[in-house]
Amino acid sequence: MLRTRKRLGDLLIDTGKITKEQLKEILNKQRGSGKKLGELLIDEKILSEDDIIEVLEKQLGIKKVKLDIVKVDKKAIETIPESLARKYNVIPISFLGNKMRVAMSDPLNIFAIDDIKIASGFDVIPLIATIRDILDAIDRYYSSQYVEKVAAELTNENTAKNNDKQEEELTVDDVRNAPVVKLIDSIIINAVKARASDIHIEPFEKYIKIRYRVDGVLQEVLRTSKESLAALTARIKILSNLNIAEKRIPQDGRIITEVDGKKIDLRVSILPTVHGEKIVIRILKKDGSLLNKEKLGMRQYDLNKLDNIIMSPNGIILVTGPTGSGKSTTLYAILNELNTDDINIITVEDPVEFMIEGINQVNVNVKTGLTFAAGLRSILRQDPDIVMVGEIRDAETAHIAIRAAITGHKVLSTIHTNDSASAIVRLTDMGIEPYLVSTALSGVVAQRLVRKICPNCRQAYNAEEYEKKILHCDVNDELTLYRGKGCATCNGTGYLGRVGIYEIMEITKELREAMQRNAGTEEIRELSKKQGIKTLKSACIDLVIDGVTTVDELIRNTFLNE
Alpha-carbon distance of 341 to 247, in angstroms, equals 48
SS3 370: strand
In this structure, the answer to whether residues 415 and 344 fall within a common structural domain is: yes
More confident residue, 10 or 392: 392
User: pLDDT at position 175, please?
Assistant: 47
Alpha-carbon distance of 373 to 488, in angstroms, equals 47
Q: Which structural domain, as residue segments, surrounds residue 231?
A: 175-284
Query: Domains in the chain: how many in total?
Result: 3
In this structure, the answer to whether residues 317 and 264 fall within a common structural domain is: no
User: pLDDT at position 2, please?
Assistant: 41
Q: How far is CA 533 from CA 29, 196, 299, 473, 521, in A?
A: 66, 33, 13, 20, 15
Q: Rounded to a whole number, what is the largest CA-CA distance in the chain? A: 89
Q: How much is the mean pLDDT over the chain?
A: 85
CB of 490 within 8 A of CB of 457? yes
Alpha-carbon distance of 112 to 84, in angstroms, equals 9
In this structure, the answer to whether residues 195 and 106 fall within a common structural domain is: no
What would the mean pLDDT of 279-299 be, rounded to a whole number?
A: 77
Q: Is 123 part of any domain?
A: yes
Q: Is 319 part of any domain?
A: yes
Dump pLDDT digits (tens) for 408-438: 899 999 998 888 999 999 999 999 999 999 9
Q: Is 159 part of any domain?
A: no
In this structure, the answer to whether residues 394 and 255 fall within a common structural domain is: no
Is the pLDDT at 488 greater than 80? The verdict is no
Alpha-carbon distance of 10 to 18, in angstroms, equals 9
Alpha-carbon distance of 118 to 45, in angstroms, equals 35
Q: Is 484 part of any domain?
A: no
In this structure, the answer to whether residues 43 and 96 fall within a common structural domain is: yes
Dump pLDDT digits (tens) for 361-382: 998 887 788 888 888 888 889 9
The CATH number for 523's domain is 3.40.50.300
What would the mean pLDDT of 305-324 be, rounded to a whole number?
A: 91
Write down the number of H helices and E strands in the chain: 21, 18
Q: Is 164 part of any domain?
A: no
In this structure, the answer to whether residues 246 and 342 fall within a common structural domain is: no
CA dihedral of 153, 154, 155, 156, whole degrees rounded to 10: 50
Dump pLDDT digits (tens) for 143-168: 766 676 667 766 666 665 555 444 44
CB of 124 within 8 A of CB of 100? yes
User: pLDDT at position 393, please?
Assistant: 86
In this structure, the answer to whether residues 300 and 220 fall within a common structural domain is: no
Alpha-carbon distance of 189 to 340, in angstroms, equals 37
Last residue of a domain, one of 254, 284, 314: 284
What would the mean pLDDT of 248-267 be, rounded to a whole number?
A: 88
In this structure, the answer to whether residues 309 and 410 fall within a common structural domain is: yes
In this structure, the answer to whether residues 304 and 387 fall within a common structural domain is: yes
The CATH number for 43's domain is 3.30.300
In this structure, the answer to whether residues 265 and 299 fall within a common structural domain is: no
SS3 300: helix
- The set of long-range contacts for 362-370, using a CB threshold of 8 Å and a minimum separation of 24, is 364/390
SS3 231: helix
What would the mean pLDDT of 482-496 be, rounded to a whole number?
A: 87
Is the omega angle on the peptide bond into residue 351 within 30 degrees of 0, that is, cis? yes
Dump pLDDT digits (tens) for 13-33: 777 777 877 877 777 777 766
Q: Please state the φ and ψ torsions of residue 215, each to the nearest 5 degrees.
A: 55, 35
Query: What is the 3-state secondary structure of 505-530?
Result: EECCHHHHHHHHCCCCHHHHHHHHHH
Nearest-CA neighbor of 348 among 294, 404, 295?
Answer: 404
Query: What is the 3-state secondary structure of 36-79?
Result: CHHHHHHHCCCCCHHHHHHHHHHHHCCCECCCCCCCCCHHHHCC
Q: How far is CA 202 from CA 27, 169, 199, 275, 278, in A?
A: 57, 21, 10, 9, 5
Q: Give the pLDDT band of residue 560 (cuts 50, 70, 90).
A: low
User: pLDDT at position 173, please?
Assistant: 52
What would the mean pLDDT of 337-348 be, rounded to a whole number?
A: 91
Q: Give the pLDDT band of residue 113 (cuts 50, 70, 90).
A: very high
Statement: the pTM of the whole predicted model exceeds 0.85: no
Q: Which of 199-208, 287-296, 324-333, 498-507 has the lowest mean pLDDT?
A: 287-296
